[in-house]
Structure 1
Amino acid sequence: MREVCTRIYELLSRRYEIREGEFVGLVARRNLFEHLVAVLLSQNTNDKNAIRALSNLKSRLGKLTPEKVLSLDVGELAQLIKPAGLHLQRARRIVELASYLRDRLEEFESEVRRMDVLEAREVLMNLPGVGDKTADVVLLVYFGKPAFPVDTHIKRITTRLGFVKGGSYKKVSGFWQSCLPPDKYLETHLLLIQHGRAICKARKPLCHECPIKEFCEYYKSRGLRQQ
């Protein structure tokens, strides 16, 4: 299976160019708080909307810090992040996060850097609004630790390929971690998202254009009949 995963990585890397500006987690890597806010904004929406919301915040506040966020009332904060959707709920979570980290951000970041990935993940998931995917994005993208975040694109692609049955977050993440070296986690994560956006769409996937269809159970069972 490692050979198959390596081949998939090679084929996707030939097909797609990773553009930093298309991923909110890559756009916001200047400081931990900004990165956390960016990833919270990306929950249950696409990166374009999250980037617009983040841009509004940064235009209003400059460098994002807990203190600057807490200088806004919740209503104004919600309006600024409205492009991401669920803006009132997100605003409350961001305020909770800012309140928690206001006096301990540097200490918190230093502690997480010293931890192994499992301990760091547990600590991050104790933050307001942080679940499995958000924690793994922060671990991989910001801290450079060996985690493999799973979004809807990656779950869909992995399930269609037939690599996991059931498609739980833990199964999908564990699969990619088991068949790739850690130094390929980030690039593969981004390439799979690109592939899900461009080809392996939720509705009407473009199977005939897929560079990895030779490995895909979905294509073999249905794709050939769609051409």
Structure 2
Amino acid sequence: MVLTEELVLRVLADIKIEPRKFAALYVFRNSNDIFKALVVTILTQNTNDKNALRAYENLVRIIGDITPEKLVNIGEDALANAIKPAGMHRIRARKIIELSRVILENYRGDLTWIKDLPLDEARKALLELPGVGEKTADVILVNLGKLAFPVDTHITRISIRLGIAKSRNYHEIQRAWMRILTPDPSRYLEIHLKLIQFGRDICIARNPRCDMCGFREVCTYYISNVRGKDN
């Protein structure tokens, strides 16, 4: 057997997506605002979505609407204190203020124009912003309905175990999933989210729950490390 889109959809069919468990998705759906989604995505870097959303909502309680102007004016100390739940709050505060300042100076605080750019130009514009890397850019792009497939630590782990990627290289893993899946932004977003939840619940970092996994027969990790022991 090989990993096909049909199998992926079948295995992930029962995975439920709760928006509050995905900070960027939750903020984007509630605001349709690129800047707000960038801020919360930066808060998710090297922490979990729950802590990132707590930090973001704490910031909302303190300053109200999240805008570049307000984040520049609040100052680094106050911002760092507000986003403590996400961890690394001083580093994140500096990143967010730098991002806000660049958007104010270069784009008058407005990023809505990115929505209308072709994919490559939109990605280039996002990657030129401070604090925005490949994954953050792709999270924004796919939520804008563009053909991007973000890769996080869960998807990396799943991909290597399945054997569709031989390394942790972001683009290798991204290309592998984009070859398997129908090129449709809504499909990419759906599978991206469901794979993350699958990685949280089933294909966990230690002691993966292979007995509950529908990918067993195409999974190199299971075939090499588990199946023989079960027989």
TM bucket normalised to smaller: over 0.9
> How many aligned residue pairs are there?
224
Deviation sequence 1:95-114 (CA, Å, 0-9, x none) = 0111112262565321x222
Q: Which residue does the alignment assign to 1:173?
A: 174
Task: Identify unmatched segments of 5+ residues in structure 1.
Answer: none
| Percent identity of paired positions between Structure 1 and Structure 2 | 43
Write the mapping of 1:113-192 to structure 2, written as runs, cut at 5 A.
113-141=115-143, 143-181=144-182, 182=184, 183-192=186-195
TM-score (normalised: structure 1): 0.93
- In structure 1, the partner of 2:199 is 196
Shift of 1:138: 0.6
Would you say the 8 A contact 2:69–2:109 is kept in 1?
Answer: no
Letter of the aligned partner of 2:18 in structure 1?
R
Q: 1:117 to 1:226 in 2, by over 3 A?
A: farther
Please state whether the residue corresponding to 1:171 is helix, strand or coil: helix
Q: CA RMSD in A?
A: 1.7
Mapped to 2, the partners of 1:105 and 1:140 lie a distance apart of 24
With over 3 angstroms needed to count, the CA separation of the structure-2 counterparts of 1:77 and 1:106, relative to structure 1, is: closer
| 1:207 and 2:199 are equivalent in the alignment | no
Select the residue among 197, 201, 219 that pairs with 2:222: 219
**Paired position in structure 1 for 2:6:** 6
SS at match of 1:134: helix
In the alignment, residue 59 of structure 2 is paired with which amino acid? L
User: Where in structure 2 are the equivalents of 1:24-103 lying within 5 Å?
Assistant: 24-29=23-28, 30=31, 31-102=33-104
Q: Within 2, Cα distance between the matches of 1:194 and 1:225?
A: 27
**CA–CA distance in structure 2, aligned partners of residues 131 and 105 of structure 1:** 22
Q: For 1:124 and 1:43, locate their aligned partners in 2 and report how far apart those are by CA, in whole Å.
A: 16
Would the aligned equivalents of 1:2 and 1:180 in 2 still touch at CA under 8 Å? no
Question: TM-score scaled to structure 2, two decimals?
Answer: 0.91
In the TM superposition, residue 128 of structure 1 has moved relative to its aligned partner by 0.7
Q: What residue identity is the alignment partner of 1:150?
A: V
CA positional deviation for 1:171: 0.4
**Distance of 2:207 and 2:127 partners within structure 1:** 35
